[in-house]
Amino acid sequence: MKISATEPCKEWLENFALQDRSAAALLLDSLQYVEESTLRTGLIRLLEIDFGEERIEQPAIVIAARTGRELAQFGSSLEEVLAEENSSVAFENVFPGAPFSVEAGSESLCGNIIREFRTRHGRSFDLLSPNSTLDDMRTKRCRSIVLVSDFAGSGDQVVKAANLLTRNATIRSWRSFGWVRIHVILLAATPLGKKVVERARSVDHVSVLFMAHNFESIGWSDVQRNEVIRICRQYASPRLRSRYALGWNESKGLFLMQHSIPNNIPCVIWQDSGRGQRDAWSALLPRRTMPESLGRLLAMKAYDARFGSQMQSRQLSEFSVQLILTLEAIHRGARTVERLAIALGQTLPDCSRLVGQLQQRQLIDIDYRLTDAGHAELAEARISSSSRYQLKGSTRSYYPQTLRGVRNI
């Protein structure tokens, strides 16, 4: 399903000269989209995985990732917090558990999801109140601080939220003794954003559910990428061009959410004015919000992208399809869990489990390379090398050789 061919998008494409519309359509059709319901279930699932598998030591405090600027108005007035955001210190002049403002957006939604997680699992896991003070954390021997956020494009905001904690001398001391670890839970991240957060000195562990595309990871040719970059710069609003023509910090993002439009995507996607072919720019996301009609179309596209291959190959069990597609992705060069998640549109935990199953059945080795048995599975599945992860060939049911005779999987 191509979003660019739908009515809500045709008017936006007319902002561009005829020779530039194919690049604009490519940009539009490459967008990823997550509904609020997916955000809720995804973040709760990731928290359940990390707590259930004891990656997060308890007792733990789970809070939304917020920067000093977002918190300053609650602990003290903006004038009392110095102009430089680097002066904010958690539990001194700003307070991580402070109430959310009406305009909080993603942070407020994450706070709501945390409350839902606490309601579901308050008896299963040892969770401190988000409003806990340092004295509360000391008394209850808190072992983990968990920062929850929906998305890391450049990674800057999440790192700022973590730095806010480590500027506190007490928390810094606890970390130095190994008494407290700082975890970050993200629904999605670009490869760059994930790397930035993982390398931050203020973060001990990062968990990400979905990998988000950017211009480098989406699979465009060099010619296509250069054309998209050119139109993003050419048609950007003059007042936004220097900072947002390719997204904040030129991060070239392609990830949208129902409740929030990240600033790391090119501004031609969300600007209300620009240098188009018309007298007035036709906005795709007016006032940086997601129109209901476009949201429905993007949700349908996301469903097709994730489940289309399974629907086209009904003869195969779901496990067989995932196994074959994962082998094909690895064969084509996706040799990390992050690259597999991008190639397959699967979550990082699901990709980790698939890799474990493939290694257990000796279809791939520890370096993510196919063994002879793995190559044999691909050959029998008759995967066409000319199409991307599509199954072609015999219509008879196929089951991996390593699973034949096995009833319970």
For the record, the structure tokens of 17 come out as 């000269």
- Both tokens of residue 174? 């606890």
Going by pLDDT thresholds of 50, 70 and 90, the confidence category of residue 395 is: very low
The owner of tokens 């539009």 is: 28
- Do residues 391 and 378 touch, judged by C-beta distance below 8 A? no
Top-confidence residue, 77 or 278:
278
Higher per-residue confidence, 256 vs 23: 23
Q: Are 375 and 369 in contact (CB under 8 A)?
A: no
Asked if 168 and 146 touch (Cβ cutoff 8 Å), the reply is no
Domains and CATH numbers, the chain: 3-30+215-297 (no CATH), 36-211 (3.40.50), 313-403 (1.10.10)
Beta bridge mates, 127: 60
Please tell me the distance from the alpha carbon of residue 314 to that of residue 163, in angstroms, as a whole number: 49
Structure tokens at 382: 């008759």
pLDDT score at 76: 45
Helix (H, G, I), strand (E, B) or coil at 63: strand
Q: Give pLDDT, residue 400.
A: 52
Residue 83: Cβ within 10 Å count? 8
- Greater model confidence, 323 or 305: 323
My answer on whether omega of the bond before 8 falls inside 30° of 0, hence cis, is: no
Whether 311 has a pLDDT exceeding 50, the answer reads no
Backbone angle region of 247, left / alpha / beta, with phi > 0 → left and psi within -120 to 50 → alpha: left
Is 186 in contact with 208 (CB distance < 8 Å)? yes
Residue-averaged pLDDT of the chain: 82
pLDDT (0 to 100) of residue 71: 59
What's the confidence (pLDDT) of residue 72? 53
Per-residue pLDDT tens digits for 67-87:
766 555 444 444 444 444 567
Span of 187-201, 209-223, 292-306 with lowest mean pLDDT: 292-306
C-alpha to C-alpha distance for 215 and 224, rounded to whole angstroms: 10
| Pair of tokens at residue 141 | 């021997």
Residue 105 CB partners (closer than 8 Å, separation 6+)? 259, 260
Report pLDDT digits (tens) over 332-354. Answer: 888 888 888 887 777 888 888 88
pTM (two decimals): 0.76
In Å, how far are 148, 211, 274, 392 from 40, measured between CA atoms? 12, 16, 34, 36
